[in-house]
């Protein structure tokens, strides 16, 4: 008997039983799957949820990094009506030619059906339902209603060998798509984090467009900031203070322990109040954290209806390109703002 995802998450100590019970009560009203709901409530890490789903279904896990680094050329290998109907997303290939497809509902019959329709070997992995839904909608269009039998793919199911339903299930052990591909072929396209400094900000903005979570966007932006500025801090705007989320710098320490009061004059409060790039002197506290910069600046990150965060930077590593650094700061802030609106996530 297949274990329920809530039971698995509690058994793995990924979430508290009380959180699972609360989410189960809320499920009907929000129309979300349990794991996706727990992730949306910031009570469960997305990759931890995917690993639990992998254990539940006995198939490889397609983690966030696999979805973010997916091969764009693989999209054309799955017809749009098939992807929308079964909610599947192709993410890469294995050396032997197998197409790697992630699904929210992986089953042996789904794999068999895909292989029959696509006329190629298919490796089905599992990913968080909310992530797969979002990717399929963004790539192929709105999902097909479950009761819509107009897709020609459905009619072809009758041609499948019934014995496929009796396949012995894959042994249930947690494994990711990376492990599978490393054994059977090359990995998915590698992350370009090491190339960011060379490729420049255009590569960063392209990465943020492909990211599927706000956390991924923040990570990509701040990874680039580390190559461009001596210090940087991304802080979430609260009622009384801006609280650190991510950052780097010799004096910064743990960004999560930083709180910048908003009732005192500072670059952070100026960016929050004006909604524009703020430049000039910083407060003693912020100056110390950023390494006493000469050319500091702060850019607002706008959400759906307010400034939700501020990205503040110290001196650029290239002291001869201060103006260019300010321009890039604004572009990074725009990318973050777009992501905050896109994911509509309030901190």
Tens-digit pLDDT profile for residues 57-95:
999 999 888 888 889 899 999 999 999 999 999 999 877
- What does the pLDDT read at residue 74? 93
Determine contact, residues 270/278, Cβ cutoff 8 Å.
yes
Higher pLDDT, 185 or 290: 290
- What does the pLDDT read at residue 1? 67
Higher pLDDT, 185 or 14: 14
- What does the pLDDT read at residue 166? 38
Considering only CA atoms, give the Rg of the chain.
23
Determine contact, residues 280/253, Cβ cutoff 8 Å.
no
* Confidence label for 29 from pLDDT (cuts 50, 70 and 90): confident
Average pLDDT over residues 177-195: 46
| 337 vs 71: CA distance, rounded Å | 26
* Confidence label for 102 from pLDDT (cuts 50, 70 and 90): very high
Average pLDDT over residues 19-41: 89
Query: Given this structure, which CATH class describes domain 193-343?
Result: alpha beta
Query: What pLDDT digit, counting tens, does each position of 316-333 carry?
Result: 998 888 889 999 999 999
* Confidence label for 189 from pLDDT (cuts 50, 70 and 90): very low
Residue 139 burial (10 A CB sphere; 0-12, 13-18, 19+): middle
Q: How far is CA 93 from the centre of its chain?
A: 21
Average predicted confidence (pLDDT) for the chain: 82
Beta bridge partners of 227: none
Nearest Cα neighbor of 319 from 298, 299, 293, 281 is 293
Q: Please, how many CA atoms are within 13 Å of residue 103, restricted to the half-sphere of its CB?
A: 26
DSSP 176: B
- What does the pLDDT read at residue 199? 54
Q: In the numeric block, which tokens belong to residue 147?
A: 């009761």
Percentage of the residues of the chain whose pLDDT score is greater than 70: 82
Average pLDDT over residues 99-106: 93
Query: What pLDDT digit, counting tens, does each position of 146-157 carry?
Result: 544 333 344 444
- What does the pLDDT read at residue 156? 44
- What does the pLDDT read at residue 221? 92
Q: Please, how many CA atoms are within 13 Å of residue 107, restricted to the half-sphere of its CB?
A: 10
Q: How many residues does the chain have?
A: 347
With 0.85 as the threshold, say if the pTM is over it.
no
With a CB cutoff of 8 Å and minimum separation 6, the contacts of 107 are 57
* Confidence label for 56 from pLDDT (cuts 50, 70 and 90): very high
- What does the pLDDT read at residue 210? 80
Instruction: Count CB-CB contacts under 10 A for residue 271.
Output: 27
Would you kindly state where each structural domain of the chain is located, as residue ranges? 45-184, 193-343
């Amino acid at each position: 008997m297949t274990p329920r995802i809530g039971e698995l998450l509690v058994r793995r100590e990924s979430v508290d039983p009380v959180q699972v019970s609360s989410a189960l009560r809320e499920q009907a009203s929000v129309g979300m799957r349990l794991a996706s709901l727990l992730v949306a409530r910031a009570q469960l890490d997305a990759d931890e949820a995917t690993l639990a789903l992998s254990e539940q279904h006995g198939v490889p896990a397609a983690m966030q990094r696999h979805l973010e680094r997916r091969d764009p050329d693989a999209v054309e290998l799955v017809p749009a009506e098939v992807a929308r109907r079964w909610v599947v997303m192709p993410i890469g290939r294995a050396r032997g030619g197998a197409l790697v497809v992630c699904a929210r509902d992986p089953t042996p019959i789904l794999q068999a059906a895909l292989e029959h329709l696509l006329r190629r070997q298919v490796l089905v992995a599992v990913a968080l339902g909310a992530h797969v839904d979002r990717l399929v909608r963004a790539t192929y269009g709105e999902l097909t209603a479950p009761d819509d039998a107009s897709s020609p793919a459905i009619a072809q199911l009758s041609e499948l060998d019934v014995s496929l339903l009796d396949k012995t299930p894959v042994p249930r052990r947690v494994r990711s798509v990376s492990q599978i591909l490393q054994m059977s072929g090359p990995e998915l396209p590698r992350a370009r984090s090491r190339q960011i400094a060379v490729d420049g900000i255009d590569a960063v903005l392209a990465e943020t467009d492909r990211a599927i979570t706000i956390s991924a966007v923040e990570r990509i932006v701040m990874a680039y900031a580390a190559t461009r500025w001596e210090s940087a801090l991304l802080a979430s705007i609260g009622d009384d203070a801006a609280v650190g989320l991510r950052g780097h710098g010799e004096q910064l320490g743990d960004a999560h322990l930083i709180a910048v009061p908003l009732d005192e004059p500072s670059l952070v409060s100026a960016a929050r109040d004006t909604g524009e790039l703020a430049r000039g002197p910083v407060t003693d506290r912020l100056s110390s954290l950023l390494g006493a910069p000469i050319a500091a600046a702060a850019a607002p990150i706008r959400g759906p209806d307010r400034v939700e965060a501020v990205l503040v930077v110290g001196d650029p590593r290239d002291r001869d390109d201060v103006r260019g650094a300010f321009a890039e700061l604004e572009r990074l802030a725009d990318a973050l703002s777009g992501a905050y609106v896109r994911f509509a996530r309030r901190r």
